[in-house]
Amino acid sequence: MSPHDSARELRLVFMGTPAFAVPSLRALLSLRDVAGRPARVVAVVTQPDRPAGRGGHIQASPVKVAALEAGVPVLQPGRLRRPEHVAELRAYSPDLIVVAAFAQILSPAVLDMPAYGCVNVHASLLPRWRGASPIAAAILAGDTTTGVTIMKMDAGLDTGPILAQRAATIRPDDTAATLTERLATLGASVLVDTLGPWVAGQITPRPQDEAQATLTRPLQREDGLIDWSTTAAATVARMARAYDPWPGAYTQYAGRVLKLWQAAALDATVHAAPGHVLNRAEAAPLLETLDLRWPQLLVVCREGVLLARRVQLEGRRPMAGDELMRGQPGVAGAQLG
């Protein structure tokens, strides 16, 4: 790098959409220099405004809101691969593009545009849990450790070489929401720590071990549907955490959706069909062992019994499982699903 280059402003472009990406954007906005060079976010790229909530009102992404608050120009291409959108991006002459949960695979034209490449903030310890839903996947699998990875992007899906990683513990009560919030903050911190050494040429990217790679896909509403006949209680309990806030782990009771927000798996054997809610007589031996009082919402699973601690019946507010049992006496002895 020549003396002239070392004094020239480092032009940053940020790409992201959901709340997970906002701490990384704000961390970049707070930077005044990178590797001794003045640095500035010259543009933000995010997904187009979309309907959200029950009313279907058009809403801007969290990243767009944060960018506008900071007075940064915002680009919202439906597909960044289109030549006119690539040209619009090129007009900002980015030296480095930072990506966090942008939800589009970048074309070679974009990947090759900045001198320092495109770096991604990913919410897992790659190569484990590549793809769109790494946080939910880690909780659902029963992982006890996850983390964030800063990688140099290539044409694949989260396949690029690693620049930095930092681990984080998955707590027993973590939901996708709580873990996302922590990893978003951690990712922003690791990003800031990495950019200087990367621009200064002090980091050698480390290829991912393909033999250890696992892949996730975007979550769908159907992922939250509980199949009591094939799912163990431990898995249902993890579903409740992994799919909070969306799509939620859910079943059917009397033609209405019943969501499970908090649950615990009990190592117990009950001779009843999976999905059966224990009545008072059936639950008595188990409650005595656990030192619990009736009523408790206990559901037979393929393996074990599920203690549903917090639920939400369609059209009602979330409530404790025992509150549902008192308010809906027909739940005891019912068949869910």
CATH number of the domain bearing residue 266: 3.40.50.12230
If asked whether residues 144 and 19 sit together in one domain, one would say: yes
- Verify that 204 and 235 share a domain, yes or no: no
- Model-level pTM? 0.95
Q: Provide DSSP, 119-132.
A: EEEESSSTTTTBSS
Q: Which two tokens stand for residue 244?
A: 């909070």
The angle at the Cα of 274, spanning 270 to 276, to the nearest 5 degrees, equals: 80
The Cα 116–Cα 156 span in angstroms is 18
Looking at the domain assignment, is residue 337 inside a domain? no
Do 34 and 164 lie in a common domain? yes
- 126 and 106 share one domain: yes
The answer on 230 and 200 residing in a single domain is: no
Pair (9, 131) in one structural domain: yes
pLDDT at position 4: 43
Q: Which CATH number does the domain housing residue 51 bear?
A: 3.40.50.170
Instruction: Give average pLDDT by consecutive 10-residue segment, the chain, 337 residues.
Output: 65 98 98 96 96 84 98 95 95 98 95 98 98 98 98 97 98 98 98 98 98 98 98 98 98 97 96 97 95 96 98 97 96 97
C-alpha 283 chain-centroid distance:
36
For residue 323, being part of any structural domain is answered with yes
Answer whether residue 336 is part of any domain.
no
Cβ-based neighbours of 156, under 8 Å, separated by 6 or more? none
Domain final residue pick, 191, 212, 233: 212
**Distance (Å, whole) CA 134 – CA 248:** 16
* Whether residue 298 is found in the same domain as residue 193: no
Residue 145 inside a domain? The answer is: yes
User: Looking at the structure, do residues 166 and 235 belong to the same domain, yes or no?
Assistant: no
Query: Residue 201 has what DSSP assignment?
Result: T
Instruction: Please state the domain count of the chain.
Output: 2
298 with 189, same domain: the answer is: no
| 13 and 45 assigned to the same domain | yes
Burial bucket for residue 69 (CB in 10 Å: 0-12, 13-18, 19+): exposed
The pLDDT of residue 7: 72
Picking from 212, 233, 257, the residue at the C-terminal end of a domain is 212
* Nearest in space to 120 (alpha carbons), one of 81, 164, 63, 83: 164
Task: Convert 138-177 to b/e letters by CB count within 10 Å (16 or more is b).
Answer: bbbbebeebbbbbbbbbeeebbbebbbbbebebeeebbbe
**Domain co-membership, 158 together with 234:** no
Domain enclosing residue 231, as ranges: 221-331
Same domain, 145 and 187: yes
Pick from 186, 212, 238: which residue ends a domain? 212
The single residue listed with the structure tokens 């649950």 is 263
